[in-house]
Chains A and B, each alone.
Chain A
C-alpha cells in the first residue's frame, strides 16, 4: 500500500494490519509464503512473540524477514522472556534492522505454553516497556546511561474492550496512553454495539484504535472462545449463524462474518482500523479483505 504504517495511522485513513506466527523450528518457508501473500495487502504485519508461551522462531527474526521482503513489520514484544537488558538490546537490534513499530505486551503466563517449568520473567510490565522505549528515544537506557545513535518507534499496546471488570482495564489503558502508546490493537471483538461504546470512551484519548478481528472457523470455536477466553464475548446470533452454515461451509461463513464486521467498522467510522488475526488460516486474509470490500 506504499505508505508507512505510522503515516497511514496519522492520515486518518482506515488502517488494516494482520499477523503471522513464526514456525516452531527453522523451516521458514510457510512464514515467507504468508509474508509474500500479505505484505502488499495490509498496512503492516504483526509477528507474534512466542504466542501462548510456545517457544518458536523469534518475532524479531520474523520482522526482519518481513522488512527484507518489502513489507512493514510490527514487532510484538512480550515481557515474559527477557529482562531489562535483553528487551532493550532487542529494541536496538530491531531499530538497526529498520523495524519501526513495536507492540508492547505483558505476555501469556508460562504455564499455558510448552515450557511449563520455565521462569516467567515479567521484570517489566507492558506499561514499563512503553516507558522504556520512550527512554531509548531520549538516548538513555534504564540504567541511566547515554546511548549513541538514534532510536524511534511507533509504539503500540493492546486493550481488551470486553474485559470484566472493565474499570481496572480502563485504568491500565490510560496508563499505556500516558506512557506514549500511539496505537492500540484490541482483543477480539464480536459485538459491535459494545465495541462502539468502548470507542466512545477511547475517543477521548489521542490514540488510534484498530479493532481485533479473530476469524471464527466454526460454531464450536466461537462457543469455546466466548466461554473460555478471557475478554472475549461472541453474541449468540453469530454462533447460530456459524451453526447454520452448510457442512464444510463454516470457514466461509467465518470469512463472511469477519468481512461484514470490518466493513461496518469502516463504513460507520467506528474506529481507526482493524487488526486481523486469522490464527493458522493466514492464507484466507485476502478473502476476508475481499469480503470487507477492501
Chain B
C-alpha cells in the first residue's frame, strides 16, 4: 500500500512562499521515494531549483517515514537548520505534512498533492484500491471494489458506458463489473452479483473521522 502523490507545478510551490526566502526541505523515504516525488533525488532537484530562484535552503533531510512518530526525532536532529528557516517545504503526502505540523511552529507547506491510496498491482502500476467507505462489500464482489474500480462507484452493476469490457471514461481501464463478473463466474459464485446493495451510509463515521484505541496504554510520543 502506498500513498500516491504528484509534485505541484513549480509556480504553485512558489506562490506559497510569501513569508520569506529561507527554507528547510523534508523528503520522505517511503511512498514518496517509491513514487519518485519526494526521495533524495527530488529533494536535491527542488533545492537546486529554489536556489536558482534566489531562495536560501538552510538544510534538508529525507525522513524514513514522514507520517510516523519518528518524524519528531528527525525534526529535533535538524533543529538548528530548521531554526534558521522561515518556512518548511515537505515532499511527502499530506500525512507527512500534517505530522510535521504537529511539531513545528512555522509555516509547513506541501510540495506534493496527495492523490489516492494505491495498491502496487505489479511493479510501477498503482491502482486505487480502497476509498475507506467503512462498509466493505468485497465479499460480494470477488475481492474487486466497485467503489474505487468503477468510475461512478456504482454498486449494483455496470452503467451503459461499459464498452467491450472497458470503461467509457478511459479505454485503458477495465469496467469493474466485467472484472467482477468474470471472477465470480470463474469461482462459480455468480449468484452474488445478483445481490441488491442498498445505498451506502455516508456517515459511518461523521467527519472529522477519528479512532481512539481504548484500554490500551498509548505511549507518549511527543
Inter-chain CA distance A164–B154, complex, in Å, is 18
List residues of A (156-171) whose CB comes within 8 Å of B's CBs.
158, 160, 163-165, 167-169, 171
A230/B160 in contact, CB under 8 A? yes
Instruction: Say if the beta carbon of A279 comes within 8 Å of chain B.
Output: no
Residues of A within 8 A of B169 (CB): 109, 111-112
Known contacts A168-B162, A168-B181, A231-B163; decide if A109 and B152 are in contact (CB<8 Å).
yes
Selected interface stretch from A123-131, A191-199, A257-265 = A123-131
Instruction: Say if the beta carbon of B199 comes within 8 Å of chain A.
Output: yes
Selected interface stretch from B42-50, B65-73, B190-198 = B190-198
Instruction: Say if the beta carbon of A54 comes within 8 Å of chain B.
Output: no
| Among B155, B178, B198, B199, contact of A168 (Cβ-Cβ < 8 Å) | B178
A187/B160 in contact, CB under 8 A? yes
A123/B199 in contact, CB under 8 A? yes
Instruction: Say if the beta carbon of A122 comes within 8 Å of chain B.
Output: yes
B181/A165 in contact, CB under 8 A? yes
Inter-chain CA distance A244–B193, complex, in Å, is 46
Inter-chain CA distance A80–B161, complex, in Å, is 14
A125-B156, A165-B162 given; name 18 further pairs at CB < 8 Å. Answer: A123-B199, A123-B200, A127-B156, A127-B157, A128-B199, A167-B181, A168-B162, A168-B180, A168-B181, A169-B157, A171-B157, A171-B194, A172-B158, A172-B177, A174-B194, A175-B194, A230-B160, A230-B161
Residues of B within 8 A of A120 (CB): 152
Residues of B within 8 A of A111 (CB): 169
Known contacts A163-B162, A175-B194, A230-B161; decide if A128 and B156 are in contact (CB<8 Å).
yes
Cβ contacts B182-212/A at 8 Å (1 or 0 each): 0001000000011011111010000000000
Of B154, B157, B175, B185, the most chain A CB neighbours within 10 A belong to B157
The 8 closest A-B pairs by CB, nearest first: A172-B157, A230-B163, A127-B156, A106-B159, A168-B181, A122-B152, A125-B154, A168-B177
Cβ contacts B128-165/A at 8 Å (1 or 0 each): 00000000000000000000000111111111111111
Instruction: Say if the beta carbon of A179 comes within 8 Å of chain B.
Output: yes
Known contacts A109-B152, A122-B154, A171-B157; decide if A128 and B162 are in contact (CB<8 Å).
no
Chain A min CB distance to B169 (Å): 5
- Nearest B residue to A80 via CB reads B152
List residues of A (111-141) whose CB comes within 8 Å of B's CBs.
111-112, 120, 122-128, 131
- Nearest A residue to B200 via CB reads A123
Inter-chain CA distance A122–B202, complex, in Å, is 12
| Among B164, B168, B196, contact of A127 (Cβ-Cβ < 8 Å) | B196
- Nearest A residue to B166 via CB reads A230
Residues of B within 8 A of A287 (CB): none
- Nearest A residue to B202 via CB reads A123
Instruction: Say if the beta carbon of A84 comes within 8 Å of chain B.
Output: yes
| Among B156, B178, B181, B202, contact of A175 (Cβ-Cβ < 8 Å) | B156
Residues of A within 8 A of B177 (CB): 168, 172
A128/B198 in contact, CB under 8 A? yes
Chain A min CB distance to B156 (Å): 4
Inter-chain CA distance A160–B162, complex, in Å, is 10
Chain A min CB distance to B52 (Å): 33
Known contacts A175-B196, A230-B168; decide if A164 and B160 are in contact (CB<8 Å).
no
Instruction: Say if the beta carbon of A178 comes within 8 Å of chain B.
Output: yes
Instruction: Say if the beta carbon of A142 comes within 8 Å of chain B.
Output: yes
Between-chain CB contacts (< 8 Å), 11 pairs: A109-B169, A112-B169, A123-B200, A125-B152, A128-B155, A128-B199, A142-B199, A163-B158, A168-B178, A169-B162, A231-B162
- Nearest B residue to A84 via CB reads B199
Inter-chain CA distance A160–B153, complex, in Å, is 20
Chain B min CB distance to A131 (Å): 7
Of B158, B181, B193, the most chain A CB neighbours within 10 A belong to B158
| Among B154, B185, B197, B202, contact of A106 (Cβ-Cβ < 8 Å) | B154
B156/A172 in contact, CB under 8 A? yes
- Nearest B residue to A230 via CB reads B163
